[in-house]
């Protein structure tokens, strides 16, 4: 099983199929307007701002950082103010003495929105960041206007069994094995304390080994877009269950197709895996269409 664990850990961390280190370097055409650290909940939470307009908070996946999204940051920032964040113990944000949970990190994002004086913001999270975005919206509905959840399941059981099995093997013992990977090389370059890598894996392992089922809470979310690839980590039945709990499914369209339509949306990107999702051009296009054509709350 340990042989299976490593590729699944890297999949959860969004290792592209082409594992060139260059894939983890953001090739920006746009310079951040501002970057800094927000003092929230005992963390010094790193963020950077690109573009202008309506604010969109962007959250990376496990063992990632802002860099994980590559050109997607610039594509989104062409239309709005993108605030990209390094979560607890990831990227430039140093760890603190607390467990790593989606709930606590969701509280961090709500506190960041308040710290920046935004009132409300749209929030997009990929993989682990999707769980953080879910909890930010659930726990702080006054702070999150619209939600984009990318490649994250509303329950642990919704992932394919092989993925769940891989989660069970994430832990500090994988640190040495992962050091040749682009994931670790980017972490070592950005982290305030690179020696904390085993600690990150230990806390992440505890998080993904914890069972959860949020399906019954999905109806409390604001207007939401779910984005997955057709070769992603979620079972199709669970994907539909997620969308159904958001009110999805056209029931009685009427002559113009508008009646009975959910305010939330579902997008399945063809030819896209969990690995490819953060940098596929279709992600920014899909998210921008949702944000541009739906009510701001």
- 276 pLDDT higher than 50: yes
Q: What is the reported pTM? A: 0.90
Query: Where residue 262 falls among pLDDT bands split at 50, 70, 90?
Result: confident
* Residues 197, 284: Cα–Cα separation, whole Å: 30
Q: What's the Cα-to-Cα distance from 256 to each of 69, 244, 247, 252, rounded to whole Å? A: 37, 22, 19, 10
Q: In terms of CATH architecture, what is 23-158+212-293?
A: 3-Layer(aba) Sandwich (3.40)
What are the pLDDT digits (tens) for 105-161?
Answer: 999 999 999 999 999 999 999 999 999 999 999 999 999 999 999 999 999 999 999
Q: Where are the alpha helices (DSSP H) in the chain?
A: 2-12, 72-77, 102-115, 128-139, 161-167, 175-178, 182-190, 197-209, 236-245, 281-293
pLDDT of residue 19: 36
- Checking if the pLDDT of 187 tops 90, the result is yes
DSSP 3-state assignment of 150?
Answer: strand
Domain assignments of the chain as residue spans, ordered by start: 23-158+212-293
pLDDT at 6: 43
Q: Which residues contact 154 (CB under 8 A, 6 or more apart)?
A: 134, 213, 214, 215, 218, 238, 241, 242, 245
Geometric angle at alpha carbon 277, from 240 and 61, rounded to 5°? 95
pLDDT band at 252 (very low <50, low <70, confident <90, very high): low
Could you tell me which of 142, 89, 79, 73 has the C-alpha nearest to residue 281?
73
CB-based burial, 28-55: b 16+ in 10 Å, e otherwise: eeeebeeeeebebbebebbbbbbbeebb
């Amino acid at each position: 099983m340990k042989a299976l664990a490593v590729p699944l850990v890297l999949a959860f961390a969004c290792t592209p199929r082409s594992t060139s280190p260059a894939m983890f370097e953001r090739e920006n055409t746009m310079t951040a307007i501002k970057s800094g650290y927000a003092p929230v909940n005992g963390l010094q939470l790193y963020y950077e701002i690109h573009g202008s307009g309506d604010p969109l908070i962007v959250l990376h996946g496990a063992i990632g950082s802002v860099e994980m999204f590559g050109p997607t940051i610039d594509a989104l920032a062409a239309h709005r103010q993108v605030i990209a964040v390094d979560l607890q113990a990831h990227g430039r944000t140093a760890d603190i003495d607390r467990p790593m949970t989606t709930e606590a990190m969701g509280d961090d994002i709500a506190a960041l929105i308040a710290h920046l004086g935004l009132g409300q913001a749209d929030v997009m999270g990929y993989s682990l960041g999707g769980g953080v975005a879910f909890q930010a919206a659930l726990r702080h509905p006054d702070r999150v206007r619209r939600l984009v959840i990318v490649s994250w399941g509303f329950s642990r059981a919704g992932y394919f069994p092989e993925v769940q099995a891989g989660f069970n093997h994430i832990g500090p013992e994988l640190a040495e094995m992962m050091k040749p990977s682009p994931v670790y090389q980017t972490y070592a370059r950005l982290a305030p304390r690179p020696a904390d890598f085993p600690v990150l894996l230990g806390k992440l392992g505890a998080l993904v080994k914890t069972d959860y089922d949020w399906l019954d809470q999905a109806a409390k979310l604001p207007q939401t877009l779910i984005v997955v690839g057709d070769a992603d980590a979620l079972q199709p039945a669970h994907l539909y269950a997620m969308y159904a709990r958001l009110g999805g499914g056209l029931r009685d369209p009427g002559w113009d197709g508008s009646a009975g339509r959910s305010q939330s949306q579902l997008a399945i990107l063809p030819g896209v895996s969990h690995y490819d999702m953060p940098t596929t051009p279709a992600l920014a296009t899909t998210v921008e269409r949702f944000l541009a054509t739906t009510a701001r709350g």
